[in-house]
Amino acid sequence: MDLTTTYLGLKLRTPLVMAASPLSENLDNLKRMEDAGASAVVMHSLFEEQLRQDRLELHRHLENGTESYAEALSYFPDAGEYRLGPEEYLRHIWRAKEMTKVPIIASLNCSSVGGWVEYARQIQLAGADALELNIYHIPTDPDVPGEMLEENYLNILRAVRAEVKIPIAVKLSPFFSNFANMAKRFDAAGANGLVLFNRFYQPDIDLEDLEVRPNLLLSTPMAMRLPLRWIAILHGRLHASLAATSGIHRAGDALKMLLAGADVTMLCSTVLRHGFPQIALIESDLARWLEDHDYESVSQIKGSLSQKNCPDPTAFERAQYMKALCTYSI
Amino acid sequence: MKTPRVFKTIDGCEAAASVAFKLNESMAIYPITPSSPIAEWCDQWASEGKKNLWDTTPAIVEMQSEGGAVGAVHGMLQTGSLATTFTASQGLLLMIPNMFKFAGELLPTVFHVTARTVATHALSIFGDHSDIMAVRSAGWAMLGAASVQETMDFALIAHAATLRTRIPFVHFFDGFRTSHEVSKIEMLDDAVLRALIDDKLIAEFRSRAMTPDRPVLRGTAQNPDAFFQGREAANPFYSACPDIVQKVMDEFAEQTGRKYNLFEYVGAPDAEHVIVLMGSGCDAAHEAVEHLNHHGENIGLLKVRLYRPFDGRRFVEALPPFVRKIAVLDRTKEPGATGEPLYQDCLTALMEELSAGRSLLKFMPRVVSGRYGLSSKEFTPAMVKAVFDNLKSDAPKNHFTIGINDDVSGSSLPFDPDFSTEPENVVRALFYGLGADGTVGANKNSIKIIGEETENFAQGYFVYDSKKSGSITTSHLRFGPKPIRSSYLVTKANFVACHQPGFLERYEMLRSLVPGGTFLLNTPYAAEQVWSKLPTPVQESLLAKKARLFVINATRVAKESGMGGRINTIMQVCFFALSGVLPKDEAIDAIKNSIKKTYGKKGEEIVKMNLQAVDNTLAHLHEVKLTDNKLNGAGPLLPPISPDAPAFVKNVLGKLAAGFGDELPVSAFPNDGTFPTATAQYEKRNLALEIPVWDEKTCIQCLKCVAICPHATIRAKVYDAAELKDAPATFKVTDARVPEFNGMKFSLQVAAEDCTGCSLCVEVCPAKNKSEAKLKAINMRPQPPLRDAERANWNYFLTLPEFDRRKIKTATLRQQQLQQPLFEFSGACAGCGETPYIKMLTQLFGDRAVIANATGCSSIYGGNLPTTPYTTDGGGRGPTWCNSLFEDNAEFGLGFRVSIDKQKELAEELLKKMSPKLGDEFVTQLLLADQGDEAGIYEQRQRVIALKEKLQDLISVEAKMLLSVADQLVKKSVWILGGDGWAYDIGYGGLDHVLASGKKVNVLVMDTEVYSNTGGQMSKSTPRGAIAKFAAGGKPAGKKDLGLIAMSYGNIYVASVAMGAKDEHTLKALVEAESYPGPSLIIAYSHCIAHGIALDTGIGARQQKLAVESGQWLLYRYDPRRAARGENPLQLDSGAAKHKVKDFMLTENRFKMLTKSKPDDAKLFFEQSQTDADRRWKFYQFLAARETKPQVTAVIETAVHH
């Protein structure tokens, strides 16, 4: 069975890619992902905001209380050099490339254009095969119109595009007025792929402490419905590759995404739950299904049930919701 | 001149360090002010991999005390390493026994000593020669530098000379005045070092080293038949030493052009009057002599460089031939001596030389002695003039003092404080800043810019007060075309800047401004509004001096530039713009370059906001035209001390608080260092920008806020409604919620003027407003609008009666916290983690506490003048407190116990003897009194009062004796307080011994896991992976388990507590410890600014909680009484970890910083720390779960019946 696929111009052995997760922080895990059959690995994210915050904090703590009291003019030794940029991350990418053969996709988490776009170039130099830009922004200012936000997203992509030659994927949230339009504009701005969708930390309330505590729960298979819809709608309309992420737990989930038009499917929660062998299990189930259903290759099924290719294109449109509601009986 | 001249602007410590690092291979150090930065520089360079002259990085080891450091250096030298240490004061004194050995063994080394006052009637961190004079009999050569340049030069000369002479050298320079003065000096090139240091001598030194390949025996014991001769055998080395030092100085001059002599004469060749001195005072004297000679005097100054061996011949030869009168000035005091040491040396030399006929002097001059500059007391040209004026008189005063007004012994010489020799071409600037605003850092930077970007010479000296919160700093800057000799504070400033608007109403800072000078003020008011907001005396000074006034709202510019409260860069730009030292554009470029250099490695944001601040400044700097202004000010300056204070507090301590302590005469001071307590209450510092405001409706009256408040500024009272008369309108009252207090009223009150605004109280408040969860039962609100009302409320609150101690159940915090704190309003950091423990201790036992306090933070906020936080209750009782030393605190406290117990025993013996006269029943009651609770103590106090009354009427020796010890019949609580530097390191031997003694002493270790007071050096309490000074790469070893060691004795009550994590646990431990009839040890986790946490935001309690919840800190109590009952003595009071240790570590810069400097090491440390925590938890769990059988240890018996 030919499971190969192409994502961001990278030829991959299977459509099963390891999504960005804390697992990739450990180099041994990368090897285990590869051994279990992950065809590419998206590294954990480098958070530009975190780095910025760390720099400000370090500065504050190193200055706090200094030159105030004769016996203690400072409280910390001068460490000489600090690694306050992405050095650690770059080293990690470099080492990942050293010890694995699968493509390594770096991930950069950001919310606005800044000096950090330079990191993209350094990531390329460190040997990353591609870069996934994880752009997030929760707008809370009622005076900021949607267009401004959309432009900000595109500006980030353009700025990074100008820095690097390696392929860029953009990992997005679905929260745009017209996601298809945004996808088209990202495509036009030079994105080599779109990753649908990002899942955010959502606030929760601790009833005992009466505190708001954002957290992230592992996904459930239900989470795949939203990306499934948009992948099906976008398939065949963009130059960019499409990656499905969220809720892909079994081979069946991956197959559905491929049928809708995904070039790759990204695994995370299921591996966190069941361990690395889950990748191999999904792969063998996937291959078996294809065989059982007389398919020859992954490329054959890719998008075969997309909005363009499916017998009932309206099934992916909003009306479908109405219909479903109407037919639902108590 | 063989090498190009390189100038740098550095301080004395760095100057000494730069040579010591180059010329040594091994160093053993221990932190002590003001020498600590020398070792810190060396440690930093070593951690950066810098090399010494022989291209290898010196090895540095931090020891447990100076005694340990000198022992290690002894070993290093004996085995052939070029080795050194750096120290001062008590530290040097701890080295004395070894120093005798070094000299006896002819071991070449140089100790770099920042000469500092030895504690006598008081500790002082400042400079004089009492420490170096205490080692003059040890047989070391002593070379004294008078300036930063000389410190660097003499460091080399001493190193070269010690190798040539084999005599060890003390290279000393004055603490703070030289060690911390920033000055533009010419750096020594390695080529100069190589030219003076002969490798052949190093080879010879190594050939004498101990090695089993050429075994020798040293350190023998000798008998009367041998010792004396052996002692004299080294004489030739001492005889040769002065010539060799002079030769080194001559060679040095060839290399550098800077010529030095063992005795350096300055002044008229035919002077008849000469003063002799050494150290930093030489430069002030030099300036004065030149000035006075220029104005027609005919006088001279002899600077002493090599004090030991004292070359009498050279000394006399250096004097002008017609000298008639000499004043020898000593910066030390030797009570009871015929004179101070330098004076005695000079006199002896003169007598010997003249009587031997070797002198060219025509006759024996008249020699007088004077003392000056103790503890960095100012020594100015005006004082030098006064000394010469004294010499001029027919009968010059001998054994005089200069610089003070001695109205007790009449020793002092009068001087004219207005006499000035400041050269006109020197620009003098004075800056008043707040510790936290970055003023000093900015000024150090300005000095560097001026020194290194212009042809000018520059000098900076910085004065800090002893408060750790809201401290005021004054920066004294000078710059001019010639080297600056003014080794004294700026009192005639061309430029004065006030960086904190609030200071203007408290400090008379314009006193120092010269007529026509410039005054720069950071103020929230616009240029056109500011005049009427100035205090009237400030207006008067400005007008009288025809000064120029410039204003800027630097606080706003800082905020808008993203700088927070740090106005440093903004004020620096203003200074350059107004001083004209550089053309404006050049100055701004220089500042910007310096910003990039300083902050570049910390990231673009930091650079950007500072550059932004530079760009934003000039548009906001405005001149206020004073020509038409009239006096319409905001009234007089605020008094530094409340007008209600007792006379001594107001007139003496108040002067100190106002910064005019120098004006106080000798008679104002106690003659034995004894001061009243209960004085901090009069120093209303108004530090808080925001204060907690109580919401009585939300409050659940748990009193957690009262317990955690580091400054005892939030308090609660429960009282009868009937007491509530004439309350101010805004005074808040509610019904008491504790069932026992049913029907009574409850008030929570904040001392608005004493609060530091740390918000720890808000952090720990568990109550939440029902409709707005961000609000608690106390919430921070701006202080200024509340100040007047809350002052009245606080004063009213104080008039409400304290709750009867006998009725308070100390088992629960909500009742116990009603006890009056007898520790309040200290100068500790805002948000301090130590003081809540001391405060709770004083609430519980303060009225009968005797406290021995180790040197450190707690001795500074506890006992640094002007005021003390220890206070008294309504009956006038309260903690009595004393600091002995850093190293002997446990022993000191044990002494209290033995002494008190002995006096109690004596009282009991006398009671028994006098029983027939006093009444058998009464005596029995006194002897068998149960003082196990407050009621019992109260009863006994009443009996003792009755006893004293009876004794007054009895005329017998025994009655008088009993009267003097009767108070000891009331139980006394001995507390030994200190930090981890004391308990884990320098004082550990003594602590161990005292705990093992079985005596009833209570030890409270406030464990900040680092030497906090001296600036964050590693102690044995520092946890693995924490960055500290001398552990720049993270401490590799784990934290010492002091509690476990103490538990191993079996008869010591031990507790490990963290108030921020579990306050009632701390309370329980304190109560149990004090009630235990043997020794007790409480190790209290104390969050600290040295942890790299935002202490002033109330985060400390959260950190304590995290430390406990991650298993990094355990809560437990080990009570030997339980073992006696057949229970396991150990109770593990913290639960299994809820978080990983890493989760805690990443919230504190001391750990997190390593992830930015050495990420791989940090990762490893995180893992190891987790293993440590897991292992510790399992081990303690095992210990706490063991089955035990009843046991009565003999030691407990001893303890009970001691």
CA distance A217 to chain B (A): 18
Q: Any idea where the domains of chain B sit in the sequence?
A: 7-208+228-255, 261-413, 427-624, 640-676, 686-819, 902-969, 1008-1199
Chain A contact residues (CB < 8 Å to B): 52, 54-85, 87-88, 115, 210-211
CATH of domain B427-624: 3.40.920.10
Q: Where are the alpha helices (DSSP H) in B12-65?
A: 12-22, 36-47
Question: Quick check: do B7-208+228-255 and B1008-1199 share a fold?
Answer: yes
Percent of chain B at pLDDT > 90 equals: 91
pLDDT computed for residue A321 by the predictor: 52
Which residue of B1097, B1150, B1156 to mutate against A (max A Cβ within 10 Å)? Answer: B1156
A69/B435 CB distance under 8 A: yes
Strand partners, B779: B693
pLDDT computed for residue A323 by the predictor: 52
pLDDT digits (tens, 9 = 90+) for B555-577: 999 999 988 888 999 999 999 99
pLDDT computed for residue B1195 by the predictor: 46
- Tallying the residues shown for chain A, one arrives at 330
Query: Shortest CB distance from B1016 goes to which of A70, A75, A80?
Result: A75
For each of chain A's 330 residues, which pLDDT tens digit applies?
899 999 999 999 999 999 999 999 999 999 999 999 999 999 999 998 888 889 889 988 998 999 999 999 999 998 777 888 898 899 999 999 999 999 999 999 988 888 788 899 999 999 999 999 998 888 899 999 999 999 999 999 999 999 999 999 999 999 999 999 999 999 999 999 999 998 877 889 988 888 888 777 788 888 888 999 999 999 999 999 999 998 999 999 999 999 999 999 999 999 999 999 999 999 999 999 999 999 999 999 999 999 988 888 888 876 555 555 445 544
Average pLDDT in the B119-141 region?
A: 98
Q: In the CATH hierarchy, which top-level class contains the domain B1008-1199? A: alpha beta
Q: Tell me the pLDDT of chain B averaged across its residues.
A: 95
pLDDT digits (tens, 9 = 90+) for B608-636: 999 999 999 999 999 999 877 788 888 89
For residue A58, which residues of chain B lie inside 8 Å, CB to CB?
Answer: 602, 1149, 1152-1153, 1156
Based on C-alpha coordinates, what's the Rg of chain A? 22
CA distance A79 to chain B (A): 6
- Tallying the residues shown for chain B, one arrives at 1202
CATH of domain B261-413: 3.40.50.920
Which residue of B375, B567, B857, B1157 to mutate against A (max A Cβ within 10 Å)? Answer: B1157
CA distance A76 to chain B (A): 6
Pick from B417-426, B509-518, B564-573, B1192-1201: least confident: B1192-1201
User: Which candidate, B743, B680, B678, places its Cα nearest to that of B711?
Assistant: B680
What topology does CATH give the domain B640-676? Pyruvate-ferredoxin Oxidoreductase; domain 4 (4.10.780)
Query: Shortest CB distance from B1032 goes to which of A59, A79, A83?
Result: A79
Per mean pLDDT, which of A23-27, B314-318, B361-365, B582-586 is the most reliable? B314-318
Average pLDDT in the B518-534 region?
A: 94
Would the pLDDT of B1193 be above 60?
no
Smallest CA–CA distance from A71 into chain B, residue: B1014
pLDDT digits (tens, 9 = 90+) for B297-346: 999 999 999 999 999 999 999 999 999 999 999 999 999 999 999 999 99
The CATH-assigned architecture of domain B7-208+228-255 is 3-Layer(aba) Sandwich (3.40)
Q: Strands (DSSP E) along chain A, which ranges?
A: 5-7, 10-12, 16-18, 40-47, 104-110, 130-135, 168-172, 193-196, 205-206, 211-212, 241-244, 264-267
A59/B1095 CB distance under 8 A: no
Report how far apart the first and last C-alpha atoms of chain A are (Å, whole number): 44
What is the ipTM score, two decimals? 0.93
CATH of domain B686-819: 3.30.70.20
Q: At what angle do helices A146-163 and A179-188 cross, to 10 degrees?
A: 30
For residue B1095, which residues of chain A lie inside 8 Å, CB to CB?
Answer: 64-65
Would the pLDDT of B2 be above 70?
no
Question: Number of Cβ pairs closer than 8 Å across A and B?
Answer: 150
Quickly state the pLDDT bin for B457 (edges 50, 70, 90). Answer: very high
Residue whose token pair is 């106390």:
B778
Would the pLDDT of B799 be above 90?
yes
pLDDT computed for residue B94 by the predictor: 98
pLDDT computed for residue B1 by the predictor: 46
In 3-state terms, what secondary structure has residue B809? coil
* B62 backbone dihedrals φ, ψ, rounded to 5°: -90, 135
CA-to-CA distance for B89 and B886, rounded, in angstroms?
A: 12
How does DSSP classify residue B601? G
CA distance B243 to chain A (A): 38
Would the pLDDT of B775 be above 70?
yes
The CATH homologous superfamily for domain A5-327 is: Aldolase class I (3.20.20.70)
Q: Any idea where the domains of chain A sit in the sequence?
A: 5-327
pLDDT computed for residue B1198 by the predictor: 44
pLDDT computed for residue B956 by the predictor: 94
The residues of B annotated with a catalytic role in the active site are: 33, 66, 116, 1013
Quickly state the pLDDT bin for B1199 (edges 50, 70, 90). Answer: very low
Query: Shortest CB distance from B768 goes to which of A72, A88, A210?
Result: A210
- Assess contact for B379 and B288: CB atoms under 8 A: no
Would the pLDDT of B1190 be above 70?
no
A70/B1089 CB distance under 8 A: no
- Assess contact for B849 and B841: CB atoms under 8 A: yes
Burial annotation A149-173 (CB, 10 A radius, 16+ → b, else e) = ebebbbebbebbbebbebbbbbbbb
Q: Strands (DSSP E) along A63-159, which ranges?
A: 104-110, 130-135
For residue A210, which residues of chain B lie inside 8 Å, CB to CB?
Answer: 768, 773
pLDDT computed for residue B904 by the predictor: 98
